[in-house]
Each structure stands twice: as C-alpha cells, then as structure tokens.
Chains A and B, each alone.
Chain A
Amino acid sequence: MDIRSAAIDLGLISPEIIILASAMVVLLLGTVLKSRGLMAFLSLLGLVVGLVLVLQQWSQPQSGYYGMVLKDNFSVFFSVVFIMTAIITLLMARDYLIAKHIDRHEFYTLLMFSTVGMMLMAGSTDLVVIFLGLEIMSVPLYVMAGMNKIDPKSNESGIKYFMIGAFASSFLVFGIALLYGASGTTDLRRIMADFSFLKMQSELLLYSGALLVMTGFAFKVAAVPFHMWVPDVYEGAPTPVTGFFSVGPKAAGFAALLRICVYGFSGMAELTAVFWLLAVLTMVVGNVLAIFQNNIKRMLAYSSIAHAGYILVALTAGGEGAVSSAVYYLLAYMFFNLGGFTIVTIIDSRTGSNSQIDEIKGLAGRHPYLASLLALFMFALAGFPPTAGFMGKFYIFSEAVRNGFVWLTVIAVMNSLVSVFYYLRVVVAAFFGKPDQEFSPVSFSPALFIALLVTAVGTLALGCFPGYWLELSQMSMFPII
C-alpha cells in the first residue's frame, strides 16, 4: 500500500475542507475584527460554497482513504440536509444572539465544525470514522448549549448535554471495541461480508458489541428510554441552538444508524424486536409527555422524541423502501421543524421571554402572516395534508404495512392522532388566545425572512409535489449488497 495515493482523494472531502477552512478563518478573524456581521457573512459564504461542492458529488459514487470515506448519494443527500440545517440556523440565530447579548463569532465556528462532523458521520461505513465524526459533531454542540455563560439555565443545559453525550460515546467506543475484537475490522462492509462466519465464531462478542453501539446511538437520537436529557437540554440551550439540536445531530445519528443497520447488522434478525420496542416506547412517551408541557421548547423537545419514534418505525420495517422513506422524512422534518423553531426564536428574542405557550397568545392579531406560518409548521408537525409532514408519515407507514408490521403502524397512527392535540394547542393560542397584556411586537430582519421562506417553501413543496423528492430519496439509497 502506498501512502501517497491518499493525496489524490483530497477532492473527495473538498466540501468538508472548505467549511473547516472558513470556520478557522472566522475563528481567527473574529479575535481581531469587531464586526460580527462580517463573521456571520463569511460563515454563510463558506457553508454555501460547501453546499455547491457537495451537490456536484451527486450521482458519482466514489470512495477514498482506503474505503474509509464514502461519497455515495446517501452521504451527499445527508450532507445537503446538514449544510441546509446549518444555514437556516445561522440565518435565524443572528437577531436572537444580538438580542441576548451573546453575539460571539465562536458560535459560527462551532456551528461549522459541528456540520463537518455530521458530514463525516454520514459519509463513512467505518466505525472509527463514524465515531470521530460523532465527536467532531458533539463537542462543539456541548459548548453551543452552554453558550450563554451568564444564564444558569444555559449552563445546566451544557453540563447535562456534555455528561450524557460523553457517557453515550463511551458506550459506543466500548461497543466498537467488542466488534473489533469479534471481527478484526472496524469496516461495517467487511463485518457484514463475514457475518455468518463471525456469528459462529464469536457470537457473544458480536451481539454485545452491536447492542452497546445501538445504546450509544439511541442516546444520540434520543430514543426512549435514553431520552431523559432531551427536554432539559432543549429548554436551557439558546433557542436557535435548540433548533439545530433537534434536526442536525438527530439526522446524523439516524444516518449512521441506517448505515450500521443495513451494512453491519443486517444479519441480526433479533435486532428487529429491539427496534420495534424502541419505536413504540419512543412514540408513546414522546407524544404523551408533550401534552403536559407549558413551555414551548419543552413541548418541541418531546415532539422531536416522538418524530424520532416515527423514523424508528421505518428502521424496524427495514429494506430499501423503508430506508428511503426514513431519508425522505428526515428531509421533510428538517424543513418544518426548523421553520417552527425559527418562529419560536423570533418570539423568544423579545426581552423577558420565557418561551411559554401562553406568550404566543395574541400573535395573530399583531403578526397575522407569522401566525399563519406557525400554523403551517404545526400542521406539518402534526402530519396534516398537504404538508411535508403528511407525505413523510404516509410513506413510512405504508412501508411498515408493506413489510407486515401492521400493529406497529396502528400504534404509530394513533400516536400521530394524539400529537394533533398539543400542536393545535399552540395554533389555538396564537389565533384565539387572549393575551394578559398587549402582545409586544417582534422585530424582523431579512435573514429571518429568508429562513422562514426557505422552510415554508420546503414544507409545502415536499407535501404538494412528493414524487420528485421521493425519487431523490430513493436515488440516495446506497446499494444493499
């Protein structure tokens, strides 16, 4: 093996390199220059260039670095989701950060570092690279959660996220260690290729390793019973960061889980039962507990747990169609969840806001357009047609039925009906609630306008013209060997 051959693979990770480089430029320039607007603009530029470079890799599956980095359509699709998430977060964050006096350039740098970590995570079948990507993603997130240093709630959010995150990663590492011991490799493709042999030879190591890895990822995607940290972390973190948490790391965790389940552990039929249980618990606990929340960020936290449950339904169903429906759902979820968080961010930017649902009362009277957008996103989260939420759920549930998981689908549909209640509560508060005092107006900026426009158009486009997007998500399936 010639070490020099690795040099020619640089083009493969050019999007990551561009985003990393601009993150470092922003980090250094920010200590010299005072203009935070310029920093935000430079970060946006880096992310957009990264997005363009990623899009050029579509439909040209390549691998490099001795098979450790894989740029198939799956990783390109997810990279686009991650970069879009980062861009929308950046657009919605700016005014909030200024209002809360935490407008630091480190925020943009950390956002980009985290994005690169997610891209690496989705772009590999090697457990070592997946682990490294996970850590590059998580470590900046711990800092972002605790970014508002003088706010004790933000502190608490940071420390809780850090403790749980580090705890989960150590499970993951131990699981990888056992898998490595069982198979002598960390590449999932090779584990899968030798699966039946390995199963005979070292079944215990293989299964305990797989379960530990699953536990680690269950923490990351917040599946019940590993969800306890989610509401606290989501409530305490700065609101745009919460929006980023609820989409980016979750999508990255599912990207890695999909790879692992399809490549690595497809031979473990027993895992289906584990996933079945996880999916049911996650949906039920998420939806039921969301009903009792008065804080909108906590409510959305439980709602994000419930949505992880729907995606777990797709994972349980297995097979190519189900995986592409999960991919489609994650894209749709990115649009409407980030849209919802953009509006919560706008409302939260007002001084003295405590992100209670009661504070939304009277929004329609003062800002009718904002209130209708809020209604759109809430309807999408609840899964009403013609929004993206409906089509996403429809594809997942029909795949589950097609693969014979009828009861699971019944439970999922019932859960989705329950969820209507708490999403509509927000809409009712916005349109018909009588505010205790007059609704203090919110301020608007072009950045927020673009963020809302992109998310709203995305939510409607995926709902009204699902065919094209479904085709994209089917094309982004990696070949199942």
Chain B
Amino acid sequence: MLSVFFLKSSERGGWRAWVGVAFWLAVLAGLVLYGAFGTRLFILSTLGTVFLYVVLTQAWNILGGYGGYLNFGMVTFFGTGAYASAMIFHYFGLSPFLTAPLAGVAAAIAGLVIGIPTLRLRGAYFALVTMIITFAVQVLVLNVPYTQGALGIYMEPVGLTPLGVERLFYFLFLGLAVLVTVVVYAIEKSNIGWALVAIREDEDAAEIIGVKTIEVKWVANAIACFIAGVVGGLYAQRIMYIEPTGTFSFDISLNVVLMAVIGGPGTWQGPLIGAPLVLLVADALRVTFTSEVNRVIFSIVVIVIALFVPGGVMGMLEYWRRRRKRAEATSVAEERVS
C-alpha cells in the first residue's frame, strides 16, 4: 500500500524539480541580460559582490553544509588567495587573472595545514581553530616583511572604463558562481557528497560502512579553500589595493556563515538564496545603521535560526513540502477507505 504513495510522490517530485531548475535558469538569464545591457554602476557592483559571496558560501557549504564541519574563518583562505595573487603581481608582475589558480593552490595549502591536524579529530576542533587562526594570520601578514605589513599592496588598474571594469567582474563572478554551484551540485550527487552527509549524520557509522572519513574531510576542505583562494585572488584585482585588516576582516567569515545558515546549509540552493538575501538586507541597513548595529542584528538572526529553523530557508521549504505531501497522502488514503 505504501508503494502507491512512493510512485505518486516521485512523479510529482520530478515535475517540481524541473520547475525549480527552470526558475534558476530564468534568474540566470535575467542576470546575464542585465549584465550585458544594464548601465547602473551601483547595481552592477552590488550584484558582483553578491556573486562573489555566492561562490564563497558555496565553498563553505561543501564541508560546512554537507559535512557538518563548520569553518568560522573562511576569510583566512580568501585572504591567503588575495595576498598570494597580490604578492605574485608585486614581485613578478603577473596579472591576477592569470595567477588566480595559483592563489587557489596557496589557499588550499593553507587549508591543508589547518585541516590536517584538526580534521583528524571529531567535534569542534576544526571550528575553533579556524576561528582563532584568522587573528594569527592577520598578525603574521602585518609583521612579515614580504607582505609590506599595514602598507598593503597596490595592484595595476585594468585598462577599461569604470563601467567596463564592473561589467568584467560582474560576469567573472557570475560565471564562477554558476561553475561552483554546478560543482557543488555534482558533489552533492557524487560519492563524496554522500560520504560527507554520512559524516554529518553519524561519523562512527560512516566509518563502519567504509567511508574514509578523514580523507574525505581533507579533500572537501581543500576544494573549499581552493575556491575561496581563487575568488580572493580576483577580489584583490577588483579592489586594486589590499591591506591586512580589510582583507582578513572577520566580517567576511561572519557573512559566509550567515548566508549559508540562512539560505540552508547542505543544499546547493541554500547559498543562492542566502547570499543575496543577507547582502541586500545589509546594504539596506547600512544606510541607517552603523556596521556594529548591523552585526548585532545579524548575530541575533543567526541565534534565532540556529534555535528555531536549523535548515534555513531551504529547510523551511522542505518542511512545508513534506507537510503538504503528508496531507495529500492522508486525503488519498481517506478516499480509498471511503
């Protein structure tokens, strides 16, 4: 008797899934059109930042959302990438557009250095160390001679009009966001994705059924850090001047966690919802409040979500979907009985 419901729900699920895909494709088409024809600098640059955060949040999502290992210091790897690119430019004159993959490699190495000792272990060690390490790295960058400390590093401007520059980064980050979302989607459907979810749900059980938990965590973390590093390298080129306090700003780490938690960790749609939501609200609030008040508001939001809506927006949608399905199922059953 149960099989009836399974058949029905799977048919309907397929149809609804296509609606979802169509929705995201329509959004993408709209964004491409706006990027090509829109001329308002402010909107282009805000959306560019949104895409940048989509990429970062997707990267965070791999280990944090699917695997349940929270990285509270995403900016460490972002900043490592930014500095790697900037320093290569400074000493060798290579453009960050070329060296972005190298920046990603540098960030991935940083991720391994932090991940190898902490991800061997269960529990919150990784979260705590990533949280603390940002401060240490910032102090290091401020004091090591090669990075020019608080002076920062200047980059060469791209030889385009302001609008052209914004459009360039708009499409660059949009493309990266799409690419990374596809990667995350592929990971979700792959063995690594299932392994990560298994680790999140019950690490002992995962290990017993043969998941190489430690290696999976390392790989997931390295991928995430690589992505963050690439974005960091491009970011350095975008703002053309980086210095330690701004580049390793805790705000970036906070934003990433916030976006993932609000959108729905452990789903590929979550960051697509969370990043624009948080950034646009933050931009609206910034007009009226200082950044501290902003953070107070967002931290309260984080607490409330952690306490009452652990799945974020996607979790809520899933909850409603299940409830509706259950209601349908009972009504069908009632019909049968009568």
A complexed with B: no
Tell me the A residues contacting B by CB distance below 8 Å: none
